[in-house]
Structure 1
Amino acid sequence: MMLSSRLNFRRRLALVQTAVIVSVLSVAAIAGYLSLSDAVNEQLDGALLALAETESAMLRAAPDQQPKVHDAEQGATPPSLARLDRWVQIVDAQGRVVARSANLGAASLPAPPALLARMAAGDTMFQTLDHFAEEPVRIVSLPVQTKPFRYTVQVAGSLDDVRHVVASASRMFLGMALVLLVALTVASASITRWVFRSIDDIVRQAQRIGDANLDHRLPHPGTRDEIGRLVDTLNDMLDRIDQSFQIQRRFTSDASHELRSPLSRLRAEIEITLRRPRDTAEYVDTLRSCMEEVERLTLLVEELLALARYDAGQDRDASAATALDQIAAGAIERARPMAQQRNVSLSLQAGAAPVRAAIGEGAATLIIVNLLENAVKFTPAGGAVSIDVTQDGDCACLRIADSGPGISVDDMPHLFDRFYRGASARSGDVAGVGLGLALTQTIVHGHGGRIEAANLPAGGAAFTVHLPRAAPP
């Protein structure tokens, strides 16, 4: 733990790579060594067993004759490679040597009682003797049953060549492992250095980007590998951060402007009123005017607080369920006095069954009231505003349409921007601060829905809200 805390990621990665390479090469070298050793030893055992079976077959072919080892006569045939460096002897059931090869001389291969007992059971045995002769030998003992005698054929061969081959292979495997270790370590270090050099370049470029130059981007390496995807991801993140900063700057500037205007009017009216004594009627008019500005400020602050709460993920209940038709009916009753004052008719179209959406009652009320009051404000006298509540598959749909002038082409892209007010709102007597539609969109998106605005062919505008349907109660 202390070592890893002192080493940076690059050194830890190099250590891990080296450890993995050493482990893999060690396992491969040990496996190769064991495989070669087994193959060479099995080849020697096979050669010894084949010679023993040959002598056994000759012994069984002449059971009445004196057992003998079939050595090639000198000068009669070419030298036998099969018998080169091989010792052969035949012993009886009591372990007495009855025949031996000429190259064995007066020596005898060991035939202890334990071996004879195994031969009596009919087993074939292999043994390794390290101290029988000047070289280590491998012996195979094969039982032979002839009538009326039982013999054991023993064939021995030197292990010196086998062990020499294995030792040479071990040195070769070790040398190859060291060469591969060095080559792979150098290659791994080079690749790691190249990768981290690219990452260091990205880090240095990212450190130069701050609040004042968020429009700068990281240089792309021109490849579609992991480094290229990392740069693309960071640049996308910088785009989102830059956009958020721009929105925050505009929001702060617009909020300051919206707050400064009514405060300036309040201060001006109060200062003018306090310059000289006035009668009661003038004071009452001034207080009423100040009250209107205070109401405007209160509305602005409440909508700013609501936006802040929804931006922070508050006031959202994932398990809530609300009947939109009931909320729409309540909103119509709330907006009816304003509609009657402007001579605008209100109507609600809803089915027999309630349409339930996955949204809280307060949030649903805020959405419908904002859209309904906005529609009434922009509808001229004698016009009409209608609310349709339907369901479409997994969506609960709310549509508020008016018979007003509609939405201009210039206003449509900025309709849901915060503090944006269209030309008709700025030039007329329509009250508001430009936060209603932005707040509505924030609430709808926060509950997994969407809101759309469009102009109607016969005139007027329509806002359609799609919200996820709530599960049946």
Structure 2
Amino acid sequence: MKSLTLRSQVVVWFVGLTVVILAVAARAMYLETRDHLSAALDQGMAATATTLVALSDWDEHAEAVEFELDEDLAARMAASRPGSSEEILTWPERAPVHTRGPELLAPLPEPDWAADADLRAREWVEYTTAEGPQGKVRICSMLAYTPPDPEELDAHEFTLLVRVQESLAPLEAELAAVLRFTLGFGLVALAAAILLGFALARRVTGPLQALGEAAAQVRAGQPARLPRRGVEDEVDRLRDHLEDAFHRLDEALRRQARFTSDAAHELRNPIAVIQNAAEVALRRERTVEDYRHFFADVLATATRMGRVVDALLLLARLDAVRTASRFERVDLGEVARDSASAIAEGKERIQLEVAEDAIVQGDDGLLRVLVDNLISNALRYSPGDQPVRLTVTRPDAEGVVLEVSDHGPGIPASARARIFDRFYRAHDPAHQQDGAGLGLAIVSEVASVHAVQAQVDSTDAGTTIRVRFPSRSRAA
């Protein structure tokens, strides 16, 4: 079964909730109206019964109760209540005092009916409903004392049973009218809810649809141009997340393309050297010494290729690592000591000066790569009898400074802006064979991962590369 679209779901939920709310409200209104009309009918019947009791008076001999009402007034009362009936009897003797209208549908109660009724309030009322040929009727039965005895008599008060019957047809007609109005209003409200639901769904999903269409137009190498409403709601935040994701994806694609280009650029020449050596060696029979010479060239070239591949893989990993979430406390002085001692000629040529408590936030392994490459680069370009100076200092409480200085030929001013580019080598050809031009590029990338920069100071007497790290407290 095909699932509903988001717009359809919004419409269905909105209309469904509206229907539920309307149904609950309509039922509550109908029940409230029915209870109100029923209570009004009961109150009217009780008032009629009380009036009938008031119209019952002693006869002229003060021996019995009789009903006294002007005929014209009785006719007007009967006309105002068509279909109603009433009767008055003495109780429990059941002697009739007054009767009007059709026969009451409910039989007379038994003599012991309401035996425990408390008539201190001078009346007691009970309501019943009966089914008749013309529909349902409502019956009010009231027990009440007659008006007070004449002062000259010592006779006891009479108890009267007054019964009033009213047809429920008018009440049911009013309730039917209320129901028709409620249903009509509900249908109109439902139609309005459907239209409003579509408008609401379009307003909610419209920005998402526009965002999706814009995202579908994004192509590799092109900046993501996603619409932003500027209201800082969930849609705008989704747009920001998508744009950030597209940016990261584009960066990943660029890194992949860059790695492929770098590898092809740097490995082309060594492969050509190996191929050429093999072709020359196979042209004719040669001595063992000649083959040894060819194999030495192949081995040196393969070793250089290995270093290039390792450097490229490291750069690719650095390109992908752009978060400080796995950083920890690192003693940069200890890293410098370990790197200096790991180099074979380190003891003779490296002058080490390390401050205490040179703690930074970073990746221990990457920081070792940074220091190793700085030392190797300085040793490569310094004369064999000249030392390389490695210092880790804390010039103030705000940071830790790593410096590596050599006594090489220096870097021309025109080349200083490019020395951190990949495969760039600014020195004489005698030194170019020793490296692939990736050492300082790795230094720059490691520094970038740690949100710092490598700076260069160079003269004819040598070069100093400096990296300043924030202290642990600030980096945290």
TM-score by length of 2: 0.67
SS in structure 2 at match of 1:117: coil
In the alignment, which residue of structure 1 is the partner of 2:392?
387
SS in structure 1 at match of 2:355: strand
Label 1:128 to 1:297 Cα distance change in 2 as closer, same or farther (>3 A): same
The CA deviation at 1:298 is 1.6
SS in structure 2 at match of 1:345: strand
The CA deviation at 1:333 is 1.3
Q: Which moved more, 1:19-28 or 1:278-287?
A: 278-287
Alpha-carbon distance in 2 for matches of 1:204, 1:51: 76
Alpha-carbon distance in 1 for matches of 2:209, 2:295: 65
Deviation per residue, 1:141-191 (Å, 9 max, x gap): 444468655555444433222211110111122122223323433453466
Q: Does 1:127 align with 2:125?
A: no
In the alignment, which residue of structure 2 is the partner of 1:350?
356
Q: Which moved more, 1:238-247 or 1:456-465?
A: 456-465
Aligned letter for 1:369?
D
Label 1:121 to 1:205 Cα distance change in 2 as closer, same or farther (>3 A): same
Label 1:199 to 1:327 Cα distance change in 2 as closer, same or farther (>3 A): closer
The CA deviation at 1:462 is 2.6
Alignment of 1:320-399 (within 5 A): 325-335=333-343, 337-338=345-346, 340-341=348-349, 344-351=350-357, 362=365, 365-370=368-373, 372-373=375-376, 381=386, 384-388=389-393, 399=401
The one of 94, 97, 116 equivalent to 1:96 is: 94
Aligned letter for 1:126?
Y
- Give percent identity, aligned residues only: 22
The CA deviation at 1:88 is 4.5
Aligned letter for 1:172?
F
Label 1:155 to 1:455 Cα distance change in 2 as closer, same or farther (>3 A): farther
In the alignment, which residue of structure 2 is the partner of 1:173?
182
Deviation per residue, 1:118-144 (Å, 9 max, x gap): 86267743322232x634222334444
Q: Does structure 1 retain, via aligned residues, the 8 Å contact 2:89–2:95? A: yes
Aligned letter for 2:403?
A
Cα RMSD over matched residues? 5.5
In the alignment, which residue of structure 2 is the partner of 1:139?
139
Alpha-carbon distance in 2 for matches of 1:91, 1:413: 121
Deviation per residue, 1:416-458 (Å, 9 max, x gap): x7x364757999657344266548856985xxx5444456899
In the alignment, which residue of structure 1 is the partner of 2:30?
33
Alpha-carbon distance in 2 for matches of 1:379, 1:59: 135
Aligned letter for 1:181?
L
Q: Does structure 2 retain, via aligned residues, the 8 Å contact 1:444–1:467? A: no
The one of 215, 218, 223 equivalent to 2:222 is: 215
Deviation per residue, 1:336-387 (Å, 9 max, x gap): 725844xx52222123xx959685x655544543455456667895663212
Deviation per residue, 1:62-94 (Å, 9 max, x gap): 9x88556675x3446995699745654445553
Alignment of 1:202-241 (within 5 A): 210-211=219-220, 214-215=221-222, 220=227, 234=242, 237-241=245-249
TM-score by length of 1: 0.68
The CA deviation at 1:259 is 1.8
Larger radius of gyration between Structure 1 and Structure 2:
2
Alpha-carbon distance in 2 for matches of 1:309, 1:169: 76
Alpha-carbon distance in 2 for matches of 1:220, 1:435: 42
Alpha-carbon distance in 1 for matches of 2:103, 2:166: 17
Q: Does 1:302 align with 2:297?
A: no
Deviation per residue, 1:290-324 (Å, 9 max, x gap): 444333222222234445567778xx996988765
Alpha-carbon distance in 2 for matches of 1:114, 1:369: 117
Q: Does structure 2 retain, via aligned residues, the 8 Å contact 1:48–1:155? A: yes
Gapped runs of 5+ residues in structure 2? Answer: 147-155
Q: Does structure 2 retain, via aligned residues, the 8 Å contact 1:311–1:442? A: no
In the alignment, which residue of structure 1 is the partner of 2:301?
293
SS in structure 2 at match of 1:130: strand
Q: Does 1:254 align with 2:262?
A: yes
